[in-house]
Structure formats: structure tokens, C-alpha cells
Chain A
Amino acid sequence: MSPFGSAGLEGLRRRIAAIEAGGAGRPAEGVGLRWMPLGLPALDQALGGGLAWESLHEVAGQAAGLEGTVTAFGLALAVRAARMRRRPVLVVQQDLAGLEGGRLYGPGLAEAGLPEGAVILVQVRRAEEALLVMEEGLKCTGLSVVMGEIASRLPDALTATRRLSLAAQAGGGLGLLLRPKPDPAPCAAQTRWRVAPAPGRPDAWGGLGAAGLAADLVRNHSGPPGRWQFVLRDGCLAQETEADRTEGWPAHDRTAHDQTGHDHPAAPLHAPAGGTALSQPVAGAAVHGPPRTRRAR
């Protein structure tokens, strides 16, 4: 193995990039700041500057059974935070959530942007234990994000989430509470998101390309709610670009491409039902809610 770790050449490139960007010893970005900019100007403005550090954010599925979408959105936020703070992520998963929507999977997390060594995975059985681990993790200054997935009902949601918010204030990290099912119970989170899948953006070679995601910001402590549409790129949320809009799936040319390399008849597939929706990106445009007003805090 090379002395620069397992990543080899890629690791070296990253190291050089880190040095060029100001040196690996330079303090990580975002420490002492209140907001974590998401890199999407309109959304950052609606949030008051970005997602708030030192607070709890809730991500729930718009319907039951959207564990994958909830995880993808939560991971995108976590990856951005971890890259800014350059600290590992603590992930707490309730066993029930693992049974219903699959356990978190190391190689998949690594591809999403959390490589080996950047994730600590805690598995617990009861919701109370998950909350306790999240609270302990949020109080710890050595982590950037604490992401907890709780499938069962929270026993006392308002108190529990308020405790988590206070713990996040003490530790300074980002708290993400993932709920596979929407929970109408009151919640003390800074922002609450309801996420749903959206058609993705194919790449230039007919592959699936970047995944799409629609998120309702149903509660926002520092600005108006709204509806946003994203694509997932490099593990982070991104806005749709002009290129994406023009390069939607051609309605009749959605073919499978064969990785095994042997000649394989391409199977024509169904045209997407929501195909026309692709040309109506709404990123950066609040669909409902009043124009942004700064609330006195």
C-alpha cells in the first residue's frame, strides 16, 4: 500500500488540492459560522443564509416507504456538512428502520461521499436509545453531523426534539433526524422537510445519471416555506443546469446499456409518465408561501 493511504493516486490528488486550497492544516470552513450554505443561492436566501449549524433538521418522506429518498436527501446534507467541517459523521439507525428499508451499506455510503473512516454507525433497538445516542453525539465536538433514523413513533416528540436542539447548540454540529414516514407530531426542529422522488437526469451516454429529488420545506424558522427540486451531484444537492433541462430522457430512446460487454439487444422501455415534468424545474422558485420576510428572532 502506498504511504498515502489506500486511495493511491486519487488520494494524492486530493491532498494536493487541499494544500492548494490553503493547506490541510488550515481551520475547516464553517466553524463558528451560523449557517452552512448549500450552494444554491435561492434556497440559501430562503433559509436565511443556508442550513443552520448547531440545530436540528427533520427530513421525512412524503409518504410511507420512501426510506431511500429520505436517506439520499439526508446523506446529501450530511456529506456537505462533513466536507466543510472535515469531521466524521455519526449515523444512528434503529433496527426497525434497517428491517423496513435496508441497513446502511458501507460501499454505498462511500460512493455517496462518506468514505471509510468518516462514518460511525450505531445500531439500536428502541427509539429512546436512538434519541439518547443522538443527544450524546450532538454534544460531542468531534463530529460534524449526527444523523439518526427512527422508524417508530417518538414517545414525546416535542420534548425529545427540543433536547436534541439544545444538545446541537452545545456541540456545534448539525443534527439530522430522518423519519421514513411523515409524523404530524410537533417537532422543535429548525427546518422540516418532506421529500419525494423525482425523475433523474440521464447522463450523456444513456446511463441513469444524477438522481432527482423534490423537497417541500414545510417549516422554516428563518424564512418562508417552499418547494424545491434538486439533482444529486457528487453526493451533494445541486441545481438543475441548462444542460440538464435540454437533455431530458428522450421519450423513446431509453435503453439499457450492457456492462458485460457482449452484444445485447437493447430492450425498449416505457416512456416516463412524468417525462414532461422534467422541463419544469422549480429550483430556486418558492411555489407557495409569502415572499421572504426576515423574522425578528
Chain B
Amino acid sequence: MTVAPEKGALRLAALNRPAARLGLSAGLPLADARARHPDIDVAEHAPEADARALAALADACERYTPLLGLDAPDGLLLDISGCAHLFGGEAGLLRDLLARTAATGFSARGAIAGTPEAAAALARFSGRRGTIVPAGGDLAHLLAPLPLAALRLPPALLAALSRLGFLHMGDLAGKPRAPLAARFGAELLDRLDAATGVRRNAFVHREPPPRFSAEKPLADPVERVEDVLGLVLHLSGTLAAALERHGLGARRMDLALFRVDGTVTRLSVGSGRPVRDPAFMRRLFAEKVATIGSLDPGFGFDLVRLSVPLTEPLAPSQEDFDTAREADLALAALVDRLAARLGPGQVLVPLAVDAHVPEEACRLAPAQSVRRAFDPVRLAAPLLPEGDMVGPSRPPRLFARPEPVEAVAEVPDGPPTRFRWRRLVHHVAAAEGPERIAAPWWREEGFSPTRDYFRIETTEGRRFWLFRAGLFGTEVQHPAWYVHGLFG
């Protein structure tokens, strides 16, 4: 039994069956309940935990159909059109579903009907554990004895209806529609029509169903990682054929492993270019499994599903003798493997950004997401005239956070003559600068000082990139010095 604060008092929010048998009901203040039954156990109501449990249950139910909707807070809607025969018909499916749910410790009721609203109403209010309305059954007749609360109407509307004597759905049958709509609004008739199948509401999916999906139910559950990867190879082969027929390749692949006890493990891998090769897909999943250590199979997986939620055109290809293309493919495969293993955010390419502040002038983007062919011509040696020895203006190493140094300069706005960094004193032999970089004034971030950057060579020959924060005299009185990068 759980309680939640409501209207200034702790009230019962949800009850288990023994509590309901004591005559308690949701909404009762906890003090009243304690007065009647002093020895009841209560826990705090945790709607987030309930939502998580419902999501886990929904995961487990994906073994029946990929078309799944949440009927929060305590219901699931499964679109089983065309799926039931795989589980021995509708009765077999419902039996299997209720048995599996009971095995995980939940009490559940189910109903199969022509409309999701009718199924939800029957499951909640028919009082039976399982109800099946055969195709073409008279929904209006079956729903007639159910209370109007089954239509999920707002409490105020229910109260108004009950004052007029409308308690069951059957009470509304045959009543003139226009006065009902005028009195109670269009919502009442809409919901009634949706439940009886007069009109159809769109089914809201929990996740968009993938276009390509292949699954393998197993009579004998598998536990070993090698077996799972073998199944991935098998399913990828099935998917590859379907993808090739459509001229598509996979950019993302999701693997769902359904455990016998109802838990679902999901693995997702991406690829930088569309792929179709089953062996490569298997390798990506092998890398992914290696990162999480090992799968926890429990008592084994009895259903494995591989789906492709993201595809991209990939023309049927033919092996050729172009070594550069082969090398590009090898590189793309390496990037995909590393990204599957370390995470896409660790395999990066630096991209130039149009900004003056050095730390903003470079952005690291996931290598998989950057679709730019490598151009070998860019690697040709620069065509500078011989003897022109202009050193680099930006260091190859930059500190994420500039490190403060104690510097001594001969004139306040000149380069330093010596500085102390990390407890070592460096004497400046030569300096180049300043290169003045002002903070972007159009940003409202408060004051950030103008920086004067100097390229410094010490007497040892080390080269630093130092800057002085703040213009002497106008911005600050005692400008601070920082080392921002290392040239060599």
C-alpha cells in the first residue's frame, strides 16, 4: 500500500489486494485508514519508479509485437494484428503474456478486443483475468455493463453523469446524441464511439517501429556471448538481404535480448557509413559487448531481435581494384569499431570554427558524424618559398584551462622577461607578439579581459604560448599572465 500527499494530507494512492479486501480504497486519508486498521504497512508513492517498472514491462512485451503503446500509469496496449498466430492464437498469446507477467511478480489482467479503448476498459473493469472478444463481436453489447469510469472521463463529468443516473455505458445507448453532446461536451461521445469502434483513434506508439527487423525465438535459451553473436550474424544475414532489395544500408542497429525472466538487454551500435555486411555488424556488436564486460544472461535469452531504425541509401557494390577506396573503407571500419568500443564521443575529428578566442576556434566532432571524404591532396607539402621560415602561430597543444604564471615584464604591456610556471623559472630569450584577441563583446557574459598573446622562446629553447589577460591601465591595474599552449 502506498501513500502520497494530496490536499494537505497523506492519502492512500495505491493498494494491494489484501488491503482492498479490508475495505480500504484509494484517496482515503492515511489517518482514517490507520484508525480502522492500526497495523497496516505503507510505503511512499513513487510514480517515477512505477513508470520505470511499466517501461521494463513494456520492454518485455515487445517479444509479442513491435507495435506497443503505453496506457499510463498502469496499462500497456499491444497491437497484435497479425502476430497472434505465432503464439498459438489469441488465447495462447494472452495466456503466455499473463503467465510471464505473473512470473515476474506483477498481477495483471488482459483483454483482446477490436479497439484499444474497449480492450483497456474490459481489462480494467470486466472483473475477469482474461477476456477475448472474437473478431466481429458486438462491442457495444459487451461494454454495456461496465461503469462509465472505464471511458477514462474526467471526475467532474462522471459526477455530473451519475447525478442524472448515467452509471453504466449501456445507460447511454440509444439516448439522443445531440442533447448529450450539448450538455456534456463532445468528449463523452468521442470516447464512447472510440470504445465501440464507431470511430478510430490513432494508436500512439511507444517507439516508432523500425522498418527492418529480424528476430529468432529460441526453444532452448542461449547464455554464451559467442552464441548470441552467432545469432547476430544469422539475423544480420536476413536483414542484409532485405536491405539490399531496397538499396539501403544500416546506419544504426539495435539488438534486443529477451531474457527468460522478462528482463530485456538492449545494445545499440552505429556506423559512420551505411553498412550491410553481416560479418561487420557482428564485429561491431562484439566490440560493444567487450566494453560492457559480459552480458548478464540470467537463465538465458529465449528471443533475439535485431532491428535497423536508421538506414541510408547504399547502392549494390562490386569489388574493385582501387587501393585508395579500399583504404578508405578500412579506415571507416576502424572508426566504427573504435566508436562501438569507446563510445562515439571519444573518436573525434577536429573542425575549425570561425571564432577568434583560441579555445573556441576548434570543435571536436564525432568522427562518425562527419561525412567528409579525406582528400589526400591536402596532405601535400606546403608551397612556401625556400628559406621563408615563418613559425606556426598556434600551438599543437592547448591547455583546456589556461594555467596562471608569475611573469615579470619590463614594460607593462610588453612581453615578459621571465616567468615561473609549475615551480620552474623560465628566462625569455625571444618573444613574438602581441597578437591581441579581444573577447566577443556581443555576448552578455560579463567582463572578460582582452588577451595579448606572445609566442615565447626560453633560453633553453622551449616555446610557449603566453597571454596577458587585460589591457594595462584601461582594463586592469595588475594584469595576470597565463600559459595557454606549448609549441615545443
Name A residues whose Cβ lies closer than 8 Å to a Cβ of B: 5, 7, 10-11, 13-15, 17-18, 24, 27-28, 65-69, 71-72, 75, 82-83, 86-88, 90, 98-99, 101-124, 129, 133, 136-137, 140-143, 196-203, 207-213, 232-236, 243, 249, 254, 256-260, 264-265, 267-274
B202 in contact (CB, < 8 A): no
Interface contact A118-B352, CB-CB below 8 Å: no
Interface contact A104-B397, CB-CB below 8 Å: yes
Name B residues whose Cβ lies closer than 8 Å to a Cβ of A: 323, 326-335, 337-338, 342, 346-352, 358, 361-364, 367, 372, 374-384, 387-400, 409-411, 413-415, 417-418, 422, 424, 427-436, 454-455, 457-464, 485-488
- When distances are taken between beta carbons in the complex, the residues of chain A under 8 Å from B350 are 104-106, 109-110, 116, 119, 121
Report the bound CA distance from A265 to B418 in whole Å.
Answer: 18
CB distance from B290 to the nearest CB of A (A): 10
Report the bound CA distance from A11 to B436 in whole Å.
Answer: 29
CB distance from B238 to the nearest CB of A (A): 29
Interface contact B379-A274, CB-CB below 8 Å: no
- When distances are taken between beta carbons in the complex, the residues of chain A under 8 Å from B390 are 203, 207, 209
* Secondary structure of the B contact surface, majority rule: mixed
Interface contact B338-A122, CB-CB below 8 Å: yes
Report the bound CA distance from A150 to B334 in whole Å.
Answer: 21
Which A residue sits closest to B342, measured CB to CB? A124
New A-B contacts (15) at CB < 8 Å, excluding given A27-B323, A105-B394, A234-B381 = A106-B351, A111-B396, A113-B381, A137-B334, A142-B330, A142-B331, A196-B461, A199-B429, A202-B430, A207-B391, A211-B488, A256-B432, A259-B432, A269-B429, A269-B430
- When distances are taken between beta carbons in the complex, the residues of chain A under 8 Å from B436 are 259-260
CB distance from A164 to the nearest CB of B (A): 15
Interface contact A118-B378, CB-CB below 8 Å: yes
Interface contact B459-A272, CB-CB below 8 Å: yes
Interface contact A211-B327, CB-CB below 8 Å: no
* Residue among A71, A111, A235 making CB contact with B397, cutoff 8 Å: A71
User: 10 smallest A-B Cβ distances: which pairs?
Assistant: A106-B350, A68-B486, A142-B331, A102-B397, A72-B488, A197-B461, A86-B376, A106-B362, A105-B398, A108-B396
- When distances are taken between beta carbons in the complex, the residues of chain B under 8 Å from A117 are 349, 372, 374-375, 378
Interface contact A270-B342, CB-CB below 8 Å: no
7 contacts between A and B (CB under 8 A): A67-B397, A105-B358, A106-B364, A107-B394, A120-B367, A123-B346, A140-B334
- When distances are taken between beta carbons in the complex, the residues of chain A under 8 Å from B328 are 142
Which A residue sits closest to B361, measured CB to CB? A107
* Residue among A14, A112, A122 making CB contact with B383, cutoff 8 Å: A14
- When distances are taken between beta carbons in the complex, the residues of chain A under 8 Å from B352 are 106-107, 110, 116
Interface contact A123-B348, CB-CB below 8 Å: yes
Which A residue sits closest to B461, measured CB to CB? A197
Interface contact A83-B389, CB-CB below 8 Å: no
Interface contact B414-A72, CB-CB below 8 Å: no
- When distances are taken between beta carbons in the complex, the residues of chain B under 8 Å from A264 are 413-414
- When distances are taken between beta carbons in the complex, the residues of chain A under 8 Å from B418 are 270
Q: B378, B458, B462, B463 — which one has the most chain A CB atoms within 10 A of its CB?
A: B378
- When distances are taken between beta carbons in the complex, the residues of chain A under 8 Å from B400 are 98-99, 102-103
- When distances are taken between beta carbons in the complex, the residues of chain B under 8 Å from A200 are 391, 430, 457, 461, 463
- When distances are taken between beta carbons in the complex, the residues of chain B under 8 Å from A82 are 379
CB distance from A267 to the nearest CB of B (A): 4
Which B residue sits closest to A243, measured CB to CB? B387
Interface contact A198-B396, CB-CB below 8 Å: no
Interface contact A142-B334, CB-CB below 8 Å: yes
Report the bound CA distance from A192 to B422 in whole Å.
Answer: 28
Interface contact A107-B378, CB-CB below 8 Å: no
CB distance from B393 to the nearest CB of A (A): 7
Report the bound CA distance from A2 to B327 in whole Å.
Answer: 27
Which A residue sits closest to B483, measured CB to CB? A102
Report the bound CA distance from A71 to B392 in whole Å.
Answer: 14
* Residue among B332, B381, B457 making CB contact with A199, cutoff 8 Å: B457
- When distances are taken between beta carbons in the complex, the residues of chain B under 8 Å from A207 are 390-391, 432
* Residue among A69, A116, A209 making CB contact with B351, cutoff 8 Å: A116
Report the bound CA distance from A129 to B342 in whole Å.
Answer: 9
Interface contact B391-A14, CB-CB below 8 Å: no
Which B residue sits closest to A260, measured CB to CB? B436
- When distances are taken between beta carbons in the complex, the residues of chain A under 8 Å from B427 are 270, 273
- When distances are taken between beta carbons in the complex, the residues of chain A under 8 Å from B454 are 256
Report the bound CA distance from A82 to B375 in whole Å.
Answer: 12
Interface contact B394-A108, CB-CB below 8 Å: yes
- When distances are taken between beta carbons in the complex, the residues of chain A under 8 Å from B460 are 197, 199, 274
Interface contact A69-B391, CB-CB below 8 Å: no
Interface contact B346-A269, CB-CB below 8 Å: no
Which A residue sits closest to B345, measured CB to CB? A123
Which B residue sits closest to A233, measured CB to CB? B389
- When distances are taken between beta carbons in the complex, the residues of chain B under 8 Å from A103 are 397-400
Which A residue sits closest to B485, measured CB to CB? A102
CB distance from B37 to the nearest CB of A (A): 55
Interface contact A267-B349, CB-CB below 8 Å: no
Interface contact A115-B379, CB-CB below 8 Å: yes
Q: Known contacts A107-B394, A116-B351, A203-B390: does B410 contact A68 (CB below 8 Å)?
A: no
Q: Known contacts A72-B488, A116-B350, A260-B434: does B342 contact A122 (CB below 8 Å)?
A: yes
- When distances are taken between beta carbons in the complex, the residues of chain B under 8 Å from A110 are 350, 352, 394
Which B residue sits closest to A195, measured CB to CB? B488
Report the bound CA distance from A154 to B328 in whole Å.
Answer: 31
Which B residue sits closest to A106, measured CB to CB? B350
Which B residue sits closest to A27, measured CB to CB? B323
Report the bound CA distance from A7 to B331 in whole Å.
Answer: 24
- When distances are taken between beta carbons in the complex, the residues of chain B under 8 Å from A196 are 461
Interface contact A13-B463, CB-CB below 8 Å: no
- When distances are taken between beta carbons in the complex, the residues of chain B under 8 Å from A273 are 427, 429, 459
- When distances are taken between beta carbons in the complex, the residues of chain A under 8 Å from B335 are 120
Which B residue sits closest to A268, measured CB to CB? B410
Which B residue sits closest to A122, measured CB to CB? B347
CB distance from B386 to the nearest CB of A (A): 10
Report the bound CA distance from A97 to B207 in whole Å.
Answer: 42
- When distances are taken between beta carbons in the complex, the residues of chain A under 8 Å from B434 are 258-260
Interface contact B398-A102, CB-CB below 8 Å: yes
- When distances are taken between beta carbons in the complex, the residues of chain A under 8 Å from B463 are 68, 197, 200, 208, 211
- When distances are taken between beta carbons in the complex, the residues of chain B under 8 Å from A102 are 395, 397-400, 485-486
Q: B377, B384, B422 — which one has the most chain A CB atoms within 10 A of its CB?
A: B377
Q: B329, B391, B399 — which one has the most chain A CB atoms within 10 A of its CB?
A: B391
CB distance from B414 to the nearest CB of A (A): 4
Interface contact B410-A267, CB-CB below 8 Å: yes
